[in-house]
Structure 1
Amino acid sequence: MARKLDLRSGRPVWFAYRAPSVPTEKLTRDVKTDVLIVGMGISGAMATETLAGAGHSVICIDRRGPLLGSTAATTALVQFELDQPLTKLSPMVGKADAGQAWRRSRLAVSNLGGRIAELGIDCRLTSSPSLYLAGDVLDPSALRDEAEARRQVGIGASYLTRKVLADEFGIDRAGAILSHGNLALDPRKLTAGLLLKSLQRKARFYAPVQATAIEDSRDQVAVATSLGPTITARHLVLATGYELTDIIPKTAHSVVSTWAIATAPQPKNIWPRAVLIWEASEPYLYLRATADGRVVCGGEDEGFTDEARRDPLIADKAKRLAKKLHRLLPRLDVRPEFAWTGSFGTTSTGMPYIGALPCHPRIHAVMGYGGNGITFSQIASEIVASAIGGIEDSDAKLFSFSRS
């Protein structure tokens, strides 16, 4: 039903921190539920907790198990700032839709912070400003225009000159945009916390179980599994990351590989306010600090071909990232203690596809997350839960599979 892919390689830094274990059951008989969710990574966990919290009976399956896919590969810079600058997105989708996409993204990050606090999940959450540095996509003049475009749609943004950037943050770049209200967290702890809250709400988890076939009718969806039993649900949610099932329509979607490193803890060397940092470049460098003072840095993105070519590049890519990191912040000890690679899906506009599949109103899918995976997972949990609950989300058309 879907191509099996190796979602990540190497050792992500998050394995240095213990995440709670999530118990699963063995699927031994046919079962029924309101909602079946395929995938137990961050997007599946968010959808599960939202739907179980709304009173639906929920079953989750995963061919690996909880937290064993690409979730651990993220660097977890949880930003409302989309990969596609507002000034670049507007000509692609229209000024109104671009502005609304950015506003919805900002709202999603705010909602996620509140959600984590309300559920009491310990995932080392911090609220952080971010710096968007001038690069080969947006030079200083274009960055000024970008900051103004954001302000015009109601999103605060401050342009910093080279002098202000150097004085306040010790970074030598031609300019930057300073934003507030982004988040940093531990993605494995968050995913485990959401799944455990869902268990308290009677969600059922079966793993390892692979969905092998889907048949949908007007009233239900039947999913055959690798173990033999069939799961019947009123709705199906496909949260399989970039391992796309055959039923999902062809879209302007591609798979990209990224690489990341993490240093040893060095809290005394962290830059002012531990701001999230990324570049207006292609590909761009992105970095953050962890709660104990490690520096996590990623980038060097390129199109995914296959694991056999991607994985041997880890050592070379780690050296390149460390060199770029040293050039940006010379005070840091940039020697990698962790190095890894992962892959993610992206789209031509940078906006994800979320919602019911064309001609399959009971099958919902989420894909094309790009660099905003956790932010878009929050939006997906809101849109899908509204659709299943019979409520129209005002932004559903922005992200739908039928959008122009």
Structure 2
Amino acid sequence: MSGLTRKRDLRSGRPLWLATRQPATPHRPLTRSIKAEIVVIGAGVSGALVTDALLLAGHDVTVLDRRGPVRGSTAASTALLQFEIDTPLIQLGRKIGKDNAIRAYWRSTTGVDYLRHRIMELGIACDFAERETLYLSGDQLNATALKREVAARQKAGLRSIYLDRGELRRISGIERSGASLSRGSGELDPVKLVTALWRSASLRGARILSPVEVTDIASRRGGVDILTSAGHEIAARNLVIATGYETPKFLKRSDLKIVSSWAYATKPQTRALWPERRLIWEASDPYLYLRASADGRIIVGGEDEDFSDEAKRDALLPQKVEAIGRKLKRLFPHVDVTADYAWTGCFGQSDTGLPLIGALPGRPHCYAVLGYGGNGITFSAIAAQIIQRELAGHQDPDAKLFAFRR
């Protein structure tokens, strides 16, 4: 029987985050038909943050996953927690309107803040650190355009300043015509974060059931029925689909696409790292993005291209690592660019760079979180707040920015 969502091999290679063994995440199989208040499908970062928020609001939550907790694309993330969206503010304003674009950027900043506070409140040891971000000029935004971008951000009250070539060289050693320097971002270990969130959720009463393959859902008066490949049924009051880049088959949208991305981590080289360990990315297509790990490695990725199939994506890993390494060497000639860990994965993009969050049109009691864009973890934090409020009967002030439309 076919599954509810498109099944993909979401990653391959050796992600750095899986090098350290994490405590087991409590889960068990589904052995009979059950009733539930809220069902969340997906045990990655989106599902974990949504579940955490729903538990905070006093809901009873049951989680289903076809693989098991933290076994999808979470480990392929490079976990740059930025408020900056893939689509620059001035371009996003032309797509969705200036005021909406500013609201989206501001909501992204609060997403990072929300993550910081939940990590502190739950006492999660996931190597979280606050970081500034350097956004370098490139073939999509040259120095002049980047200066306009920074001016637009400053007018909106966002914490960005423009650096000319000399200022950029002085603070980073990077040779580029210009850059923006922004505050309000961060970094972490995504596997440690999500593993800890699921352990916390389990201790607070969440049922985590896996492996469970959902084959169909049907809205009814007062709830939704969920059918599994084993023939079990789950009668739920509400359903949240948080399956990452394995989108529901019934959701056919031309503005969403899956891309392949490649990344690697060097050996530890703390003394060679750039000042302040800032997050770095560039206004180019494809763009380079990099950060440092807690133990002093350089984590670098990019070379994105449209996804075709898993075999082609995986076969390109050595070639893409070499190309990324050449770019890294041009940026920082003194560093050792040799890969110690290398991996590839599937990620999603929307035409605005924004996620889709909220009620599914035509399917009562069904909600979805599609964290499309380069800020997957930050967008998942936004989704947690929006879904929590919607299921409590409250209207989130920014819900319309990310809502599904008929």
The corresponding residue for 1:142 is 145
Q: For structure 1, list consecutive stretches of 5 or more residues without a partner in the other structure.
A: none
Choose which of 58, 72, 83 in structure 2 pairs with 1:69. 72
- What percentage of aligned pairs have identical amino acids? 50
What per-residue deviation string (whole Å, max 9, x for no partner) do you get for residues 11-46 of structure 1? 111112232220111211111111101100000000
- Whether contact under 8 Å (1:127, 1:184) holds in the other structure is yes
Stretch of structure 1 that moved more, 83-92 or 360-369 = 360-369
- Whether contact under 8 Å (1:350, 1:368) holds in the other structure is no
The answer on 1:347 being equivalent to 2:346 is no
- Whether contact under 8 Å (2:66, 2:212) holds in the other structure is yes
3-state secondary structure, aligned to 2:393 = coil
Shift of 1:201: 1.2
The answer on 1:123 being equivalent to 2:126 is yes
The answer on 1:322 being equivalent to 2:325 is yes
3-state secondary structure, aligned to 1:208 = coil
The corresponding residue for 1:81 is 84
The corresponding residue for 1:261 is 264
The corresponding residue for 2:341 is 338
Stretch of structure 1 that moved more, 381-390 or 243-252 = 243-252
Hey, which bits of structure 1, 4+ residues long, moved more than 3 A?
A: none
For residues 153 and 249 of structure 1, what CA distance do their matches in structure 2 show?
34
3-state secondary structure, aligned to 1:370 = coil
Shift of 1:251: 4.7
- Whether contact under 8 Å (1:20, 1:189) holds in the other structure is no
The corresponding residue for 2:198 is 195
Q: Which runs of structure 2 are paired with 1:192-271 in the superposition (5 Å)?
A: 192-271=195-274
Task: Report the AA paired with residue 154 of structure 2.
Answer: R
The answer on 1:15 being equivalent to 2:18 is yes
For residues 239 and 84 of structure 1, what CA distance do their matches in structure 2 show?
23
The corresponding residue for 1:305 is 308
For residues 257 and 151 of structure 1, what CA distance do their matches in structure 2 show?
33
Shift of 1:368: 4.6
For residues 270 and 46 of structure 2, what CA distance do their matches in structure 1 show?
31
What per-residue deviation string (whole Å, max 9, x for no partner) do you get for residues 235-293 of structure 1? 10101111111233535100011000100111111100000000011111000000100
The corresponding residue for 1:54 is 57
The corresponding residue for 1:3 is 6
3-state secondary structure, aligned to 2:180 = strand
For residues 21 and 87 of structure 1, what CA distance do their matches in structure 2 show?
45
Stretch of structure 1 that moved more, 263-272 or 17-26 = 17-26
The TM-score with structure 1 as length reference comes to: 0.98
Shift of 1:148: 0.7
- Whether contact under 8 Å (1:53, 1:201) holds in the other structure is no
Task: Report the AA paired with residue 364 of structure 1.
Answer: Y
- Whether contact under 8 Å (1:347, 1:368) holds in the other structure is no
For residues 140 and 123 of structure 1, what CA distance do their matches in structure 2 show?
36
Choose which of 145, 166, 169 in structure 1 pairs with 2:169. 166
The TM-score with structure 2 as length reference comes to: 0.98
For residues 261 and 134 of structure 2, what CA distance do their matches in structure 1 show?
20
The corresponding residue for 1:36 is 39
What per-residue deviation string (whole Å, max 9, x for no partner) do you get for residues 106-147 of structure 1? 011111111111111110000000100000111111111101
What per-residue deviation string (whole Å, max 9, x for no partner) do you get for residues 177-225 of structure 1? 0001101000001001111111121000111111011011120111111
3-state secondary structure, aligned to 1:371 = coil
- Whether contact under 8 Å (2:175, 2:331) holds in the other structure is yes
3-state secondary structure, aligned to 1:222 = strand
Stretch of structure 1 that moved more, 239-248 or 349-358 = 239-248
The corresponding residue for 1:101 is 104
Equivalent residues, number: 403
3-state secondary structure, aligned to 2:107 = helix
